[in-house]
Amino acid sequence: MNPWIMSLVLLLGFGVFAWSASCRWRLMTVGGGPYRFDQIGKRLAGTFRYAFAQEKMRRYPLAGAAHMLIFSGFCVLLLRSLILWGRGFDQQFNLWILGVGQPLGNIYSLFKDVFAILVILGTCVFVYFRVIKKLGRMTLSTEALVILGIILTMMVSDILYDAADILRHSTTAETQNATRFNIWEPAGSVVASALSPMNLSDGILNTIRHAGFWTHAVLVLVFLNILPYSKHFHIITAIPNVYLRSLDPPGRLAPIEDLEGKVEREETLGVARIDQLGWKAALDLYTCTECGRCTDFCPAANTGKLLSPKQFTVDLRNNLYERQDEFVKKDKSAHEPIDLVGPVINPDVLWACTTCRACEQECPVMISYVDKFVDLRRYLVQEKGEFPQDLATAFRGLENNGNPWGLPAQQRTEWMEGLDVPRLTDKPNAEWLLWVGCGPAFDEKARKTARAVSQLLNRAGVEFAVLGGEETCTGDPARRAGNEFLFQILAQSNVEVFSAHNVRKIIAICPHCFNTFKNEYPDFDGHYEVVHHTDLLARLIRDGLLKPTQPINSSVVYHDSCYLGRYNEIYDAPREVLKSIPGLTVLEPTETRDRGMCCGAGGAQFFKEEEEGTERVNVARTRQLTETGADKIASACPFCMRMLTDGLAAHDNEKVSQQDIAELLLESVGTPENKG
């Protein structure tokens, strides 16, 4: 070994990497960002779960297994690289605890060989995906094949190094016959046995040994220096990105603090340029592996819209890299300040997002997407006044009448006609506020849900009351559409009304209202116990306060609401209610639970025309549900209900009915009248 050459290799390798990493660090930190160094225990637990145990990788079994093999192999072989670098100065170098003959040394040698083979297998799987099967979700590039080639070469060279070493230390007799198999070095022994019949000279063996040694020692550093300039930068950034992930509920969007003050100071509302995204968003961009899992499950992408979450991230990252001189070297002449939407992100991409979080659910390295979409919308809506014209009607309705349709407030109570539904003004000590929401208050079909819920609560003896005409929109569609100013006005107004009525517990019929109250109103001093009606109904059935006895001899398929499921992890309660109904067979679509496809209504999409594509999202989702052969589609969201009803009409399917879970339960429980 040559200490001078090894010193030069290490100095150059780590020196160039330090410079590259420094540039990337300075580029990442040009913007501000949240404090993410709290709750260390929770962060470490999540890092083990998602980064080391790679829980989300398993959602794609073969690719996940291959990635886990490569990741585990690199962790094990990192120690091998340190040993080889040490042998560049002293060929007898070894960590004392791993020395020859030491128990741990033997165990490590075995692990090293086993994982080298496993890494080779994992690499072959990815070569298959890229060269033979050519998975559409992946970015198929020469760069990726080069990286895989480097990994493969490193493993092979390490095994050759061991094999040559084994042969050089064998006796002449052993070499002439068959090299003994060493259980602690299985890979090296197998290759040595294959080379043994060739009776290679000591000089040739020494050349092979040196070639294997230097190939591994140098390629590790070459690989390290490629990372900051490739999508494989995630090898370095993935673990920090998972550790620094947001620990807020998925359903919470961070508010724009001091909104009125920012307006007075003429500060940017939302995100206009790449340097305003913040350091954590930049770390997200560094960490994208371009695996395409996000786009694989994006409802907009799957129905032919321009939106691809993967491409959205790549475009932002490319823009950040292109402006490195401007931000890192402070060379303002390098680039003129440009807005992201338009030159970098097509507006149709931005407005096609349903905020369903399917992309975030699939991402194995915990990249967030919805917050970025909403931040860009905030700038367009509040600074430039640029948004789909349909949303102007919704905004005006919210401003003037407290609902996105602009209908008179007195119509909010029409669903109550003929029912015993107390108002909070008449029953101020009611335990629960039943929050009806705009959909069940104004949409004719969704009104049936409100009526069913109220009747079931009465049957179960739940003390509840409604606000009636005092109720107004929670502001969810305004916030998701980027109108943060309007959202905050509505939120503060509702919190004041709740305080006046001493509201502490809320039953929400709409998952969007449920999510907003539960996860976003605390930012405005609105702290309540919030339950979705399906969760409460399941509880009432378990407690024996509701008893489904009338059979419904039919089959039903349940559609998971994004804001109930992916946002708040409520999957079992709705199914529990359905399964409690005698005679009702509950079916599951292929795309179900946290992989259930969005109906297309979220993110204020319900109040605007869909972007151009090959198919409407609700039509595609309805087809998935009807393919189960179910007689009924059950939902737990008024907006899902309307979208799926329209989807059935688009399919000209009159055989399948669409009902809320509460309607089906009421049919089985019965009303006092039909109970005789």
Tens digit of each residue's pLDDT (9 = 90 or more) over 202-219: 889 989 989 999 999 999
Instruction: In whole angstroms, give the CA distance from residue 664 to residue 630.
Output: 14
Measured in degrees and rounded to the nearest 5, phi and psi for residue 505 equal -130, 130
Q: What is the pLDDT of residues 323-343, one digit of tens each?
A: 888 888 766 555 566 899 999
Nearest CA-CA partner of 157 in 218, 199, 109, 108:
218
- Please state the separation of Cα 176 from the chain's center in Å: 58
The arrangement of strands across the sheet holding 632-635 comes to 584-587, 554-558, 632-635, 657-660
The three-class DSSP label of residue 466 is: strand
Q: What is the dihedral of CA 192, 198, 200, 204, to 10 degrees?
A: -80
Least-confidence region, from 233-247, 293-307, 316-330, 456-470:
316-330
Nearest CA-CA partner of 562 in 636, 660, 625:
636
For tokens 């972007």, the residue is: 611
pLDDT level of residue 271 (50, 70, 90 thresholds):
very high
Give, in order, the Cα–Cα distances in Å from 230 to each of 1, 22, 236, 288, 512.
32, 16, 11, 10, 39
Alpha helices (H) along 468-529: 476-480, 484-500, 511-515
Percent of the chain beyond pLDDT 90?
79
What's the mean pLDDT in 275-282? 94
pLDDT level of residue 49 (50, 70, 90 thresholds):
very high
What's the mean pLDDT in 398-415? 95
pLDDT level of residue 626 (50, 70, 90 thresholds):
very high
Contact 290, 138 (CB under 8 A): yes
pLDDT level of residue 375 (50, 70, 90 thresholds):
very high
Indicate the pTM of the whole model: 0.92
Residues 108-145 as b/e (b if ≥16 CB within 10 A, e otherwise) read bbbbbbebbbbbbebbebbbebbeeeebebbbeeeebe
- Please state the separation of Cα 452 from the chain's center in Å: 34
Helix (H) or strand (E) holding 161: helix 142-168
Instruction: In whole angstroms, give the CA distance from residue 591 to residue 599.
Output: 12
Structural domains in the chain? Answer: 3-19+39-243 (1.20.950), 261-386 (1.10.1060), 400-541 (3.40.50), 542-669 (3.40.50)
Helix (H) or strand (E) holding 635: strand 632-635
Contact 215, 157 (CB under 8 A): yes
End-to-end Cα separation, the chain, in angstroms? 95
- Look up residue 530 and give its amino acid: V
Contact 441, 406 (CB under 8 A): no
For tokens 């490739």, the residue is: 230
- Look up residue 292 and give its amino acid: G
Contact 650, 622 (CB under 8 A): yes
Report whether pLDDT(278) > 80.
yes
Residues 632-668 as b/e (b if ≥16 CB within 10 A, e otherwise) read bbbbbbbbbbbbbbbbbeeeeeeebbbbbbbbbbbbb
pLDDT on residue 409: 92
Instruction: In whole angstroms, give the CA distance from residue 460 to residue 41.
Output: 42
Instruction: In whole angstroms, give the CA distance from residue 59 to residue 68.
Output: 12
pLDDT on residue 107: 86
* Cβ neighbours of 674 (radius 10 Å): 9
- Look up residue 39 and give its amino acid: Q
Q: What is the pLDDT of residues 51-68, one digit of tens each?
A: 999 999 999 999 999 999
What phi-psi label fits residue 71: left (phi over 0), alpha (psi between -120 and 50 degrees) or beta?
Answer: alpha
Percent of the chain beyond pLDDT 70?
95
Q: Long-range contacts: 485-488, Cβ < 8 Å, 24+?
A: 485/259, 485/263, 485/269, 485/382, 486/395, 486/398, 486/399, 488/255, 488/256, 488/259, 488/524
Nearest CA-CA partner of 53 in 65, 43, 63:
65
The three-class DSSP label of residue 630 is: coil
Q: What is the pLDDT of residues 336-367, one digit of tens each?
A: 668 999 999 999 999 999 999 999 999 999 99
Nearest CA-CA partner of 589 in 600, 599, 581, 601:
599
What's the mean pLDDT in 561-584? 98
Instruction: In whole angstroms, give the CA distance from residue 238 to residue 240.
Output: 6
pLDDT on residue 334: 56
Nearest CA-CA partner of 625 in 654, 666, 667, 658:
658
* Cβ neighbours of 492 (radius 10 Å): 15
Instruction: In whole angstroms, give the CA distance from residue 345 to residue 360.
Output: 19
Instruction: In whole angstroms, give the CA distance from residue 633 to residue 641.
Output: 9
Q: Which range, 100-109, 191-200, 378-387, has the best average confidence (pLDDT)?
A: 378-387
pLDDT on residue 333: 59
Average pLDDT, the chain: 92
Instruction: In whole angstroms, give the CA distance from residue 355 to residue 241.
Output: 21
What's the mean pLDDT in 509-517? 98
What's the mean pLDDT in 420-432? 95
**209 vs 308, more confident:** 308
pLDDT on residue 95: 61
Give, in order, the Cα–Cα distances in Å from 233 to each of 126, 318, 621, 638.
17, 14, 36, 43
